[in-house]
Structure formats: C-alpha cells, structure tokens
C-alpha cells in the first residue's frame, strides 16, 4: 500500500459517516456495504495523487510559486505516456473546486452545559488555480494532505526519526537514510512556513501562543536532531562504516555513493539552522513589539473612531497629504494588461538567494498565442497568399502544432479573429459539414466548413461555387471521442 492508500484507508469511513443520511435516534443500526460510483479502477485517484506529490516537490523548489499545467502534464506522462491534456484539466478542476464539510465545534465553556454547535467549512480545495493563466499550486489544505499522506510527524517528535538514522547505520540499511532525512526535512520546512505565516499575519493568536508555549521544546528538539545527525555524519567517515558501505553498494543494482548520504544529512542540518534563525527572529520581534506593526488594520473601526473624535489638525493634515489623491479627476481603468502587477516572481537579477525552477514556464507577458503568431504567422500568411485554407486542411497540414505543443485553440483564434494575421483576411463559409479525429482522440466537427483567405466580395447568386463570406464565423466545437455525431 502506498502512503496515499493508507491515508484513504484511515479517512474513508469518516467520509461515509459525514455523508450518511441515517436518521438520529433510529433503531436500525445495521450497516451495509457502501456502493461507490466511478470506474473502480483507481485511474483518477492515481492521477490526483501523482499530481499532488509533484506539486509538493515543486512547492519546495520554487518557494510556493505557481506551476504551469504543461510542466504537470510532462511529469504525469512519465507514468502515463498517452495521457490526454483534458484528463489533467479534469483532475485539476476537481481538486481546485471546494466541497463543504459539516462538523460540530466544541463549546467554549464545557462546564456550563453549552451544546456543541454546528459549523462548516469550504476550505477543502487541494489545488489553487489561477483564472487567467491556468497555473496551479498547492493550497494549505493540499500541502497538509500530502504531508499527512507522507506520514510526517510534528517537529517535536522528529528527534526520534533522527535516531533512526543511527539505527540504519548500525544495521547497514543505508537505503533508508534518505527517506528518513526527507521526513525530518518536510517537518522542518512545514514549521518554517508556519513561522513565516505567523509573522505575516500575527492576528492568528492561537498559533502565536502555541509557538510561545512550545518555544523551549522546539529548541530542545532542534538541538537533539542536530547533535544526532552530526554524530551520524561523523560515523559515515569512519573506516568501518565506509567498508560496510562499499560491501553493501556492490550488492545493489542502483548507483550509490557515500556523499549521497552525507548530502541528505547536510540538507537537514542547513534547514535546522534556517529554522532556528527564523524562530529567534520571531521571538525577538515579539519581545521588541515589532510583531504588532505587521497586523491587519480594521479601517472600519478607525473610521468610526475618527467620526466620534476628530483627529488633531496637524495629524489630519499629515494624513490628507500622504493618503489623499493629488487631483480629483475621473479614474479610468488602464487599457494595458494588469498581469505584470500580479506577478510575484522575482527578477532574474535579484540579489536574494532564492532559486526558482521555472525555466520551462512561459512568461506572463509572452502568452502562447503571441508566440504562435510570431513564429508561424509569416509562413501561414504565405500559405494564404497561394490559396484559401480551410480548417480541415489546416489540421491536416499541421498548422496547430508549434514547439512540441498543441496550439489548436490558437489556430481556431485565427479563424475567429482574422485581424490577428492580416487586416485583409476574411472567413468564407462553405455549406458542407466536416468531422476530424486528432491523434490524441479528440474530434472536431462542424455543420459548415470555414475557410481563411483573401476573399473578394462576390455575389453568391452569380457564383454559387465560391465560398460565402460572412461577418460572423461558425466556430467548430471540440467533442470527446465517444460523443455521438
């Protein structure tokens, strides 16, 4: 059983209890086997688990940056070579759509006889998807799900995992050392990210209080883990351990080196130093009162206070000079795109020591349509100079392929918006239907056949054989392989 299977085994019956329609107080207490819908072959579940595992790896490497669906598809095709892009889109849309969970909250004062109240949450989406670019990343719930599936313990108990490294060295089980260190590393990174969230939003008083209460325990756990791993790394350099490792490596089919084990231990030691520094900075901010300046300002309460007691004249003039606009004019929205303002990635010349593995992602200011028109536009215009090009002919000639990507949507845009290629282009409509099956299984069909070309306005009554130009285009629709024509 995989880690995800163990997570489902532990939670499936709880979901059955949540979805149960059993009437409270009913005498019928017998439970029958649940009949579950679906293909019952684990295909969609496997795709979702592989996608979540990949997003967690990228989440650590890119510091929680968004990832394009193209990279996700390329990774999943290592396991499913013929995976259609629509299957990945379905899994992403399903995991990005929240579902409501109902539960009972504990009473604030149990001794007073207060009844447990009903509550619900919709923070169940595992993936966050950008509406404009379609890029995805893990939500806090998704990160927690992957962490639970990986059976990662809290950092306070990870010191026992560090002792497992010494046990693995003593038994000669060297292959287990990277897995053990990865579990410790994930626990350390999870706490590091939680510290960052508390510093960014100190209004989470419960988390802040928990950190203050367990601060001594965290330092003790980090010190124990650090000393244990330093002892393990020193044992790797002893002649006895090196001799046993060489004998073990010769019996393995995979390539192993001793520096792989020392490097895994070194990554955990670096993460411990980073976490200790962040924890010390948080405690210093709390002690000096700087943590309060990062909180959320309730502007509604501030406005009520100003109405109740006006500000002094000097303070009022300062606020007006700094916060009010210089001129009261009509505010019009910008015509240019706002995507550069929403971009969170750092510039390439940033001096911060952050590494982003996004070399294969398209830049937001350089969308796929623009790159498609720039690369294939001149050749496509030359082809249209020779003769009009119908949509079936364009697909047969491969005009929807560009840079090892499927640009079917971009090709259809040229038939819908003819200004993309040339202002003189127009679309002719021929009264004959067509149906094309692409290699990946998609079918494109239309009741009429659109043709793109430099058509002249003609009288259709005199020349019935020529394509008929229309002011609007009949856009073909893409259907699934098993859809009835």
Structure confidence by residue, pLDDT tens digits, 395-447 = 888 887 877 777 888 888 888 877 788 878 888 888 888 888 877 778 888 88
Does residue 391 register a pLDDT over 60? yes
Give Cβ neighbours of residue 29 (< 8 Å, ≥ 6 apart). Answer: none
Does residue 128 register a pLDDT over 60? yes
Determine what percent of the chain is predicted with pLDDT higher than 70. Answer: 74
pLDDT at 336: 57
Class in CATH terms, 1-16+39-100+120-145: mainly alpha
Average pLDDT over residues 79-90: 92
Does residue 77 register a pLDDT over 90? yes
pLDDT at 482: 43
| Whether 101 contacts 124, CB under 8 Å | yes
Average pLDDT over residues 43-50: 90
| Whether 429 contacts 450, CB under 8 Å | yes
pLDDT at 254: 82
| Whether 441 contacts 406, CB under 8 Å | no
- pLDDT (tens digit per residue) in 147-190: 777 654 466 667 777 888 888 888 888 888 888 888 888 888 87
| Residue 70: band (very low, low, confident or very high) from pLDDT cuts 50, 70, 90 | very high
Stronger pLDDT, 88 or 6, i.e. the higher one = 88
Does residue 280 register a pLDDT over 50? yes
| Residue 196: band (very low, low, confident or very high) from pLDDT cuts 50, 70, 90 | confident
pLDDT at 474: 47
Does residue 191 register a pLDDT over 60? yes
| Whether 204 contacts 197, CB under 8 Å | yes
| Whether 229 contacts 164, CB under 8 Å | no
Output the average pLDDT for the chain. 76
From 98-112, 262-276, 294-308, 398-412, the region with the lowest mean pLDDT: 294-308
From 124-138, 255-269, 317-331, 432-446, the region with the lowest mean pLDDT: 317-331
Phi first, then psi, for residue 331 (nearest 5°) are: -90, 120
Q: What residue segments make up the domains of the chain, in order of their start?
A: 1-16+39-100+120-145, 152-291, 369-479
End-to-end CA distance of the chain: 43
Give Cβ neighbours of residue 188 (< 8 Å, ≥ 6 apart). Answer: 155, 158, 268, 271, 272, 275
Q: How many angstroms separate the CA atoms of 138 and 144, rounded?
A: 9
CA 57 to each of CA 134, 138, 157, 268: distance values in angstroms, whole numbers, following the listed order = 19, 10, 23, 16
Give Cβ neighbours of residue 114 (< 8 Å, ≥ 6 apart). Answer: 107, 108
Stronger pLDDT, 466 or 301, i.e. the higher one = 301
Does residue 52 register a pLDDT over 50? yes
| Residue 21: band (very low, low, confident or very high) from pLDDT cuts 50, 70, 90 | confident
CA trace torsion 273, 275, 279, 281 (10° rounding): 70
pLDDT at 68: 92
pLDDT at 47: 92
Which two tokens mark 267? 């990554």
């Amino acid at each position: 059983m995989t880690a995800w299977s163990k997570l489902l085994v532990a939670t499936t019956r709880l979901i059955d209890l949540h979805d149960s329609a059993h009437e409270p107080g009913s005498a019928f207490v017998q439970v029958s086997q649940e009949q579950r819908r679906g293909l019952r072959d684990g295909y969609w579940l496997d795709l979702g688990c592989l996608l979540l595992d990949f997003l967690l790896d990228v989440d650590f490497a890119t510091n929680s940056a968004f990832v394009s669906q193209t990279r996700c598809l390329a990774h999943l095709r290592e396991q499913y070579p013929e995976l259609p892009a629509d299957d990945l889109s379905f899994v992403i849309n399903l995991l990005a759509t929240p579902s409501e969970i109902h539960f009972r909250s504990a009473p604030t004062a149990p001794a007073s006889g207060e009844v447990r109240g009903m509550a619900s949450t919709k923070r169940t989406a595992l993936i966050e998807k950008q509406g404009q670019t379609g890029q995805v990343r893990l939500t806090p719930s998704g990160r927690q799900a992957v962490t639970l599936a990986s059976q990662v313990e809290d950092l306070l108990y990870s010191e026992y995992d560090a002792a497992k490294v010494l046990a693995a060295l003593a038994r000669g089980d060297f292959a287990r050392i990277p897995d053990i260190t990865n579990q410790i590393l994930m626990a350390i990174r999870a706490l590091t990210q939680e510290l960052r969230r508390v510093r960014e939003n100190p209004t989470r008083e419960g988390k802040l209080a928990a950190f203050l209460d367990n601060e001594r325990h965290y330092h003790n756990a980090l010190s124990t883990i650090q000393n244990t791993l330093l002892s393990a790394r020193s044992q790797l350099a002893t002649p006895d351990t090196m001799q046993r490792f060489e004998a073990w490596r010769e019996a393995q089919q995979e390539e192993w080196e001793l520096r792989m084990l020392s490097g895994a231990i070194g990554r955990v030691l670096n993460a411990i130093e980073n976490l200790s520094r962040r924890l010390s900075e948080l405690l210093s901010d709390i002690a000096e009162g700087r943590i309060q300046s990062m909180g959320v300002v309730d502007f509604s309460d501030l406005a009520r206070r100003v109405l109740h007691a006006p500000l002094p004249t000097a303070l009022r003039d300062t606020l007006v000079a700094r916060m009010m606009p210089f001129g009261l004019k009509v505010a019009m929205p910008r015509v240019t795109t706002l995507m550069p303002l929403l971009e969170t990635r750092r510039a390439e010349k940033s001096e911060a020591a952050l590494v982003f593995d996004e070399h294969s992602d398209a830049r937001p200011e350089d969308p796929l349509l623009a790159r498609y028109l720039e690369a294939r536009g001149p050749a496509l215009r030359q082809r249209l100079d020779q003769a009009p090009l119908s949509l079936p002919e364009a697909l047969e000639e491969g005009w929807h392929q560009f840079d090892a990507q499927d640009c079917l949507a971009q090709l259809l845009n040229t038939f819908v918006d003819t200004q993309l290629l040339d202002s003189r282009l127009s679309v002719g409509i021929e009264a004959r239907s067509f149906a094309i099956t692409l290699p990946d299984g998609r079918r494109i069909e239309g009741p009429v056949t659109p043709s793109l070309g430099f058509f002249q306005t003609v009288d259709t009554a005199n020349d019935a054989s020529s394509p008929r130009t229309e002011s609007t285009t009949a856009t073909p629709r893409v259907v699934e392989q098993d859809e009835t024509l």
